[in-house]
Amino acid sequence: MKEDQKIKGFQKFLYLFAKNVTFLLFKTFWRLEIIGKENVPLSGGALLASNHVSYADPPLVAASVDRFIHFFAKEELFHMPIIGWFISQVNAFPVKRFEHDIGAFKKAQKLLTQGEAVVLFPEGRRSKTGELGKAKAGVGMLSLKTGVPVVPIYISNSYKIFSFKKIKVFIGKPIKAPEVENQKLYYQSFSEEVLNSIAELKSKMML
């Protein structure tokens, strides 16, 4: 077996192990409920767009879907012992905060065109209040550039996670990016459409 195949095999094992442990922990202590899992395409490029209020959100999304996913993580985490190594093994790639990181977005674009699934938070950062904020253009840009659908996701009760309230992950139907000539004009508006879909999932969950 070639060395790179050994590495990929180990990474796959570690990813699945971490995913299953995460699922069991959240199922046991937070009574995790996943609604709409069937809305995530099992193959082909896809953007998974979720609200973001906790460091637990990326592993929660990973534990809630039936495919391997890739996700952005702030660059500082990759410089931390053990944590940096671990997240690099489970499909995270670094993004520089507080600036437009072209390299990170090119990495995401490449993954999407190769048929992979990537998690991206439309607000661009973790909410400090637990409420939905304003959309950034990133989700719209990646979806329009690659033509992949966006799957809206709302996670409830991961804010102040150690209150141990029941967590629900509500996965909506994929949203197809509009076919337009001047794509740049639609980056922001399509991102806002996605965030509105996440807000609608929140409203449905509260009924």
Q: What is the pLDDT of residues 42-82, one digit of tens each?
A: 999 999 999 999 999 999 999 999 999 999 999 999 999 99
pTM: 0.93
Question: Residue 31 phi/psi, 5° resolution?
Answer: 50, 45
Percent of the chain with pLDDT over 90: 85
Is there a contact between 136 and 122 (Cβ–Cβ < 8 Å)?
yes
pLDDT of residue 3: 45
pLDDT band for position 91 (cuts 50, 70, 90)? very high
Mean pLDDT of the chain: 93
pLDDT of residue 5: 56
pLDDT at 1 over 90: no
The CATH number that applies at residue 86 is 3.40.1130.10
pLDDT at 2 over 80: no
pLDDT at 207 over 70: no
| 176: containing domain | 3-205
Q: Looking at 1-15, 59-73, 120-134, which range is the least confident one?
A: 1-15
Percent of the chain with pLDDT over 70: 96
Contacts 24+ apart (CB under 8 A), 156-160: 156/202, 156/205, 157/30, 158/53, 158/54, 158/56, 158/57, 158/60, 159/53, 159/54, 159/127, 159/130, 160/130
- Number of domains the chain contains: 1
